[in-house]
Structure 1
Amino acid sequence: MYKSIEELNETVRTHRRNHKLSATELEVLDVLARYSCKDIGRSFLAKSTIAELIGKSRRTIVRVCNRLELLGIIRQSTRMRQTGDRRQTSNLVEIQRAVEQPAATPCHTDVAHQESPSINPKNNNTKETAPATAGALKRSIYEPLYNALKPYFNDDDMYNVYGILLRAKASVDRDVRIEDHSDDYIDVLKAVVFAYKQGRVRSIYGCLYGAWNKVTAEISRRIKRANGVSDIPVYDWLAQ
């Protein structure tokens, strides 16, 4: 990833300049950098170990790492150990290269001004009203998507975001299944939330609606091509 420790250190300094990080977030970033010298830019420190090093709880470290990942500062993944035991995993954290922040750009969509979309839990594709409890909401959302939403949104916000996804998808192609393309939708979610945190968009709801509309159109075209159906032009919802 990096040619030298100095290159890594410069990246960390750039991240510190680019983002308004809390004292704890700065501590965690510094620890990750210090323990990323053997394999430059990559650390296998457990969350509990980081917690001990800076005197915080493991829960706090998990939350901080999720925020650092949201900001594009680190990337987290879980690796299986060489023993082959599925219970034996290691935590890999990679410090991402700092990139120049683009200028603020708004997302244009009428959903930007809507406060609360409706959802209906009758199936995974066309929901109209939201589940009444957090437990019901969790059971109604495909698990990888729920896990992607949970670190960044409380229950009310998750209610809104999930409703926007369902409405955006259904307005393009109701036959597209979220379960079959969750990676595409999650990638869009992370990109939009990151942009929102950086102040590059005015409305997270509006941008999510437009971006999920667009990715659904792309998925729909891929499915048609795979099935030998001629590609039908799909309206570009983001061009409004």
Structure 2
Amino acid sequence: MEELRGLETFETVQEMDNATNEALTYFDLKTSERDILLKLSQYSCKFVGVSYMKVRKLAQEVKLSERTVKRALKRLSELGIITRVKQLRPVRGGWGASITVINPSHCHIELAPRPEEETPEGTSSKGASSRNETIYFKAIKIIKELRQPEGFTLDYSYLEAYGVPAHFIGTVKPFINPEEAFSLWGKVQACWKRYAPDVTDILEPAIQAFKASVTAYKFKRIKRSFGAYFWGTLRGVFTVEQRKQLSASNLLGWNWLTGD
């Protein structure tokens, strides 16, 4: 136990979450690599940043093959996002399961900053997250193709009719136009369904992610796409909220020594 405590890389879970979000935002990670990093962070709270999760258990949690998990862990290690610490068996000898340590941002972000991906998941438009957003983009297309009276201007009242919350509209209105706001709310819905299905309040996390993205834009940290950066920020915020929800429901109980 003292050995695990000695490997802690963060003082608080929030610091770990921030480092995880940085990695998700700046690196061109595959969906499997992102899911594995997020899952590791969920199981790295007892000793902050340190997980004793076995490959077999990790593969079961993210519903991937052990081979894929090992390949993803190898790449995350190469990027400096995580460190795999081999453990010697004290009785039988030989190497046991490795401990995974999530590294602080300064260990990896400076090595390979990247422009944000054009699509939310870094995949083609036929990816799962894009399919979830289809209804919103179709709605935008319909609005654009409507026969508009002379002098007509699309305003935010039309978005409320499609279920975009007034509070979200009030937050984004000074920065973006109605079509852009509608697109961002579509990302909120898609990201929520994928990463935080047990969370009931999605409005505050969405506003938090938008404000963080605006701040990043003001400090010129967004190289290409505001929408992609917003998605990455959303993913991090929703992952934290999902973990809080599961913790409150006692659904994260597991044997941290064995990973079972």
Superposed pair shares fold, TM > 0.5? no
Please give the TM-score of this superposition, normalised by the length of structure 1: 0.42
Question: RCO higher in 1 or 2 (8 Å CA, sep ≥ 6)?
Answer: 2
Q: TM-score, normalised by structure 2?
A: 0.40
